[in-house]
Amino acid sequence: MLILITILAVIFVFGLIIFIHEAGHFLAARLVGVGVYEFSMGFGPKLGGFKRRETEYNLRLVPLGGYVRLVGMDPEDQERDAPYSFARHSVWSRMLVILAGPLMNFVLAVVLLTAVFWWQGIPVATTRIAEVLPHYPAAVVGFEPGDRIVAIDGQPVNSWQEISRLIGQQTPKERTITVERAGKTLNLVVLPQPDESGKYKIGIVPEVVQRHLGLIGSIRQGMVTTGNMFHLILAFLRHLLLHQAPADVGGPVRIAVETGKVAQMGFSPLLQFTAFLSINVGFFNLLPFPALDGGRFLFLLWEVFTRRPLDPKKENLVHLVGFMLLLFLIVAITYRDLLQLVGGIGK
């Protein structure tokens, strides 16, 4: 059953992300008037499809990929000089077509996160205590679950953020915390203690409730969360380049395993995981490396500054070399993931 759930989840996640990415290229091509030979979901033998106007829409056997074949992308294309060819359009139109794929991945993330926030809301910590951790100052002086914190050192507090900020101040001194308990007001004096990171705590856990945001609020939160995830990826890449973080990068096998684990947690976590992967796919494709959208965009920038395009055969050769390097990297990471997976099963 677990294997079946994993397979279905992987097909859903990868299929949706790749479809949206390729749909971005396709729609942008249509918008600027570039012809499209084929829009295919999957790789390998053709399972079925149909043709509308000049475009073939196909479903192929392996559901873990997809592609859009544009008129004029191949230097040997007989229609390369046609007015609807990719090569014959302005550099700005071509930039739009290239960037549309990664940008649609970010749009997908916003849509998925918006749906999750609209459906279930967002967790919000309240000023009521849900748990008092043993062996911490709060347990020693008599805090109890259900207490609601109303003031610290006489200063009223209305959110958990305020409570955390006041208690966590880098000043080792006693705090007088006013709580409401069973209709009564109590003042408890407590001395916060530092944790491993040096932040002062007293050992209380807030009660968390789900706050529903409405459609507009959900869209706003979806955009903010997408932006935060993007910045986290940037920060990880920066630490990786500076050797401040381990090169713990997962390949298709590891992603598939993690997808199966998340799918068991429910549909909402799976949507959030899909959004995170979609942001990663969009970010990865924007990297200025040959064979990626970012690499193709870099060649278009070269054309903007030099006012002449690179020889298409030379560009294709660079992309081919880049693709082979990426393929080698994927194989190496997959091999490492398989070794870790087999090692984990053997323990």
The answer to whether 56 is a known catalytic residue is no
Distances, alpha carbon 62 to alpha carbons 43, 47, 55, 59, 340, in Å: 5, 10, 21, 9, 25
The strand pairing partners of 56, in sequence order, are 38, 51
Ranges 81-85, 91-95, 241-245: which has the least confidence: 241-245
Amino acid at 319: H
Q: What is the pLDDT of residue 107?
A: 97
Instruction: Give me the domains of the chain, ranges plus CATH numbers.
Output: 2-120+223-346 (no CATH), 123-211 (2.30.42.10)
CA distance 171 to 327: 54
Q: What is the pLDDT of residue 160?
A: 92
CA distance 251 to 332: 9
Q: What is the pLDDT of residues 37-73, one digit of tens each?
A: 999 988 888 889 999 888 999 988 877 778 899 999 8
Neighbours of 97 (CB within 10 A): 26
CA distance 335 to 258: 16
CA distance 113 to 227: 12
Contact 316, 310 (CB under 8 A): no
CA distance 138 to 206: 13
Amino acid at 118: W
Outline where 53-90 has alpha helix (H): none
Q: What is the pLDDT of residue 343?
A: 62
pLDDT higher than 70, residue 346: no
Q: Which residue is it, tokens 């397979």?
A: 7
Q: Which of 22, 38, 54, 174 is catalytic?
A: 22
pLDDT higher than 70, residue 113: yes
Q: What is the pLDDT of residues 131-147, one digit of tens each?
A: 999 989 999 999 999 99
